[in-house]
Structure 1
């Protein structure tokens, strides 16, 4: 298969929209692949604005602010894939995207190092009470003292959520001479000498520093609250560089004011401004030894560049080859190219008999299937068919008429 001609449709007719100042690395990838109608917008769009923009969009790129709702998806008649150029996908209505056969990709690993390094840096800053000394110095007050300042070496770091970022933090912390314990809802193989504990209570009561690295879902919303925090070791430090909905900020404020915690660093909040420069308030403002950052845990040049390459590559592989590896909606398939065939993609509701109907329809017209790949999830099935190139248009027409069809696409 010629790499110069991967698709049967004119690339200049494919519209790509990238929002929220996604890295230029992604834009360059699309343009180098021949997609000249690739447009980048600096900020997020509201639901109403996105509904107006998305009508003729084939590929949509977003970060964490843009919400792709059921109303947006209903207006996206040509949409093939959504790229979340970040770790999470909770800003997309995944159920609705699945039902409409829209592939959703993200970059779960690309900013791992950026967040992990910052967590270690913040731990040093807070355990040395640098925020207070920095504030005093800016006000002209010389606070040269060691009282309340400690080293990381020999302290215990408690990690809540031992996934990609949590385990990377674990490795860096051990390199700093820390003891590491972690809590996760699943049994996880530890990195280095880290030890898994059975309960959050165990972790909070033993940790000098507590760092959150959990996703936002029904089980984690408000999981850190007054009841959880009361078990914290007196004088512990608390960091949340995970998701804003996980922590009840009023309860965290109370724990800081009472001295149960000696410091905190928070990067994510239940409600965040949509644009840079917008007004922002939180109960944690003005508290001593507290570092507040504007959701920049993974915001380094390296991370954004890597995310741009990672997600754009997945989207291009899906658009041009039908490969859905890494998708959260369309079942994951990685398929080889077969010479002298035409490839058709078929997405359908996952009900019995669809594959049988596909095969019967094609065999009834003596259309030879040279390659067939199927993967399903609870909602939909995804079939990639390589057929005789001389009969591909007839095959394409037949597949569009198969019962329970959601989306059919002639790839090449």
Structure 2
């Protein structure tokens, strides 16, 4: 029986996928759990599903010997120690595509609202002022949108923006095929100097920390707008606050923050609070009913394929092996240290028990190798014990 533990109110679509595959031993928690309760809740689980608030660090992962795979029901995976998971033979899956449209629509909507100064006009009406003026309000059509990070979401933002009549430029550290009439900028400075709206769609990490800082914000076009719906660490909030206060930027929309509240009753602490030309949202770029349903299904399907066939296609930290129909009586999933002769060692061990390998797939990633072997003959507890006991083995299971 495969035990599944889910946290943070994962959409029912995931449960439907598991049930259709005959995986019904599911424990679901409506929220993230405090560290002192998390380990107990995960004991005995083969599959774990989390979102952004549940953190699986090295210490926690080392205490979960039964864990076979982790599903991050979101885009980001920095809440999991990916290296430790890989070295323990645990692939981590996410949903890189399912909330793309939701985030892109929000970014375009925020661009239109800020160009028209709607947030501050709305605030003034609520406070009794009928501020009917066209000063500083602009149409979206004809304006330039600068996209930093032209991946799944960034390119979709560009497509929607073009449909609204915007000119689209982008900058990415990798060469990307432009969609529609979008044009690549060879440098970040080139993009910043011409964009009326700048939107960020980059991953977190050291390479992107404070990519928008005092210097790069100063390089933006006077009166421009900055939008961040990617990662909270990529914008220096104090520098942004200074640029808004001085009038160098006319507005901003921030959906992610360097430090975010742990629950709905904890207030956000930010110097941007109270600024009428700033839209602040609680990390909801991908929070639509459609995206959550799609995410639930996408990640659950990846976990099911792994459990039933060993497929690791789409794993973010693990050698990727695509689906292949089983060819033998049993399928051995062997994770090993990536050392010379590893495959030969595995084949010799299998042969000692009279098993014939009829199909085999191998992929390696860093220090880890992963082999799927379809064999003829019974793979009993004795065979598994021998495979698991070998010094080269990290993990071994059968499906």
Matched with 1:6 is none
- Does the 8 Å contact 2:93/2:302 carry over to 1? yes
- How far is 1:339 from its partner? 4.8
- How far is 1:165 from its partner? 0.5
Q: Is 1:203 matched with 2:191? A: yes
Matched with 1:273 is 261
- How far is 1:393 from its partner? 5.0
- How far is 1:392 from its partner? 5.2
Matched with 1:111 is 99
CA–CA separation in structure 2 for the residues paired with 1:209 and 1:238: 6
CA–CA separation in structure 1 for the residues paired with 2:213 and 2:328: 61
- How far is 1:274 from its partner? 1.7
- How far is 1:331 from its partner? 0.9
Q: Which moved more, 1:347-356 or 1:261-270?
A: 347-356
- Report how many residues are paired: 399
- How far is 1:334 from its partner? 1.7
- Does the 8 Å contact 1:54/1:75 carry over to 2? no
Matched with 2:376 is 388
CA–CA separation in structure 2 for the residues paired with 1:373 and 1:393: 23
Structure 1 segment 6-405 matched on structure 2, within 5 A: 11=1, 14-390=2-378, 393-405=381-393
- Does the 8 Å contact 2:309/2:326 carry over to 1? no
1:335-361 deviation line (CA, Å, top 9, x unaligned): 423355111111111111211111122
Query: Which consecutive unaligned segments of at least 5 residues does structure 2 have?
Result: none
- How far is 1:24 from its partner? 1.0
- Structure 1 residue matching 2:202: 3-state secondary structure: coil
- How far is 1:48 from its partner? 2.7
Query: Which consecutive unaligned segments of at least 5 residues does structure 1 have?
Result: 1-10
- Structure 2 residue matching 1:406: 3-state secondary structure: strand
Q: What TM-score results when the alignment is normalised by the length of structure 1?
A: 0.94
- How far is 1:275 from its partner? 1.6
- How far is 1:276 from its partner? 1.9
1:242-287 deviation line (CA, Å, top 9, x unaligned): 1000011000000000011000000000001122222221111111
- Structure 1 residue matching 2:332: 3-state secondary structure: strand
Question: What value does the CA root-mean-square deviation take over the aligned residues?
Answer: 1.3
- Does the 8 Å contact 2:217/2:243 carry over to 1? yes
Q: Which runs of 4+ in 1 moved over 6 A?
A: none
- Does the 8 Å contact 1:225/1:252 carry over to 2? yes
CA–CA separation in structure 1 for the residues paired with 2:251 and 2:311: 47
CA–CA separation in structure 1 for the residues paired with 2:378 and 2:52: 45
